[in-house]
């Protein structure tokens, strides 16, 4: 499993094995990829924890193409299940375009109460008016403090390490297709420590009596999924 997925850390492997009905201690695999995390400030973390189910975070990240163009990707992430409810790609982001993406993120249900974002100039008057019209309260983080928006920053890091760092992007259409494939894997299969090593959409445990372990490549072979299936 480690050889087939070199970007996976020890907790990811432990979580994947757990979903296959194999209980393994983290200490038995973490020697392959030890990783230390510094926790954010207690007061801000308390706010995030208390309002987990009512908070959505947004952020941009850039992706260069093979023709040296720069594409901007907007991510809209709900905190409670770490779901990417919306994303879009553009070469020329504007406040109007960004505001419209937020509207499209919640077409059938009321949006969460709090919106966590940085202080980028793109979140101007037009954007703030649209946020207020949706009944949301903005929570801008402190300047130069990305750790105050940790969940979306962590997702962007995962997207880069587990997907985009291994692919040469051709154009906007190509990038959109890649991200759509990765997010399908992310939601259905990828285990998260904050979700007790389950995926955002939720996975059932496959105990050994269900059969042999079957491996399937996904995201163009960058990752693999594992299920049990009777012979």
Tell me the pLDDT of the chain averaged across its residues. Answer: 89
For residue 204, pLDDT over 80 is answered with yes
Mean pLDDT in residue range 112-133: 92
For residue 47, pLDDT over 70 is answered with no
Which CATH superfamily does the domain covering 41-200 fall into?
A: Ribonuclease H-like superfamily/Ribonuclease H (3.30.420.10)
pLDDT of residue 45: 64
For residue 187, pLDDT over 70 is answered with yes
pLDDT of residue 39: 53
For residue 121, pLDDT over 70 is answered with yes
Residue 105: strand, helix, or coil:
helix
Domain ranges of the chain: 1-36+204-231, 41-200
Per the CB < 8 A criterion, the answer to whether 205 and 18 are in contact is yes
pLDDT of residue 33: 62
**CA-CA distances (angstroms) from residue 65 to 59, 90, 98, 175?**
20, 12, 21, 9
Mean pLDDT in residue range 8-34: 83
pLDDT of residue 135: 92
Mean pLDDT in residue range 130-148: 90
| Per-residue pLDDT tens digits for 140-184 | 998 888 888 989 999 999 999 999 999 999 999 999 999 999 999
Report the distance separating Cα 23 and Cα 166, nearest Å: 31
Task: Identify each DSSP E strand in the chain by its residue range.
Answer: 55-64, 70-78, 83-90, 114-117, 137-140, 212-218, 223-229
Percent of the chain with pLDDT over 70: 90
pLDDT of residue 131: 92
Mean pLDDT in residue range 38-54: 64
For residue 59, pLDDT over 60 is answered with yes
Selection from 231, 214, 208 nearest residue 23 by Cα: 208
**Confidence label for 30 from pLDDT (cuts 50, 70 and 90):** confident
**Confidence label for 10 from pLDDT (cuts 50, 70 and 90):** confident
pLDDT of residue 172: 97
Report the distance separating Cα 81 and Cα 195, nearest Å: 7
């Amino acid at each position: 499993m480690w050889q087939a997925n070199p970007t996976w850390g020890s907790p990811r492997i432990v979580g994947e094995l757990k979903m296959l009905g194999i209980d393994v201690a983290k200490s038995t695999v973490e020697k392959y990829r030890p990783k230390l995390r510094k926790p954010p400030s207690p007061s801000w973390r308390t706010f995030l924890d208390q309002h987990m189910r009512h908070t959505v975070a947004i952020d941009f990240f850039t992706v260069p193409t093979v023709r040296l163009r720069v594409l901007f990707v907007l991510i809209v992430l709900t905190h409670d299940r770490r779901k990417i409810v919306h994303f879009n790609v553009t070469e020329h982001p504007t406040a109007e375009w960004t505001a419209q993406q937020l509207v499209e993120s919640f077409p059938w249900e009321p949006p969460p109460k709090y919106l966590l974002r940085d202080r980028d100039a793109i979140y101007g008057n037009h954007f703030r008016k649209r946020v207020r019209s949706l009944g949301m309260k903005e929570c801008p983080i402190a300047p130069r403090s990305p750790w105050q928006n940790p969940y979306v920053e962590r997702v962007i890091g995962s997207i880069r390490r587990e997907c985009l760092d291994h692919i040469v992007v051709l154009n906007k259409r190509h990038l959109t297709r890649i991200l759509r494939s990765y997010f399908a894997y992310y939601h259905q299969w990828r285990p998260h420590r904050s979700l007790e090593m389950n995926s955002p959409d939720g996975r059932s445990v496959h105990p050994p009596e269900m059969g042999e372990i079957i491996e399937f490549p996904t995201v163009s072979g960058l990752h693999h999924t594992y299920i049990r299936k009777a012979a």
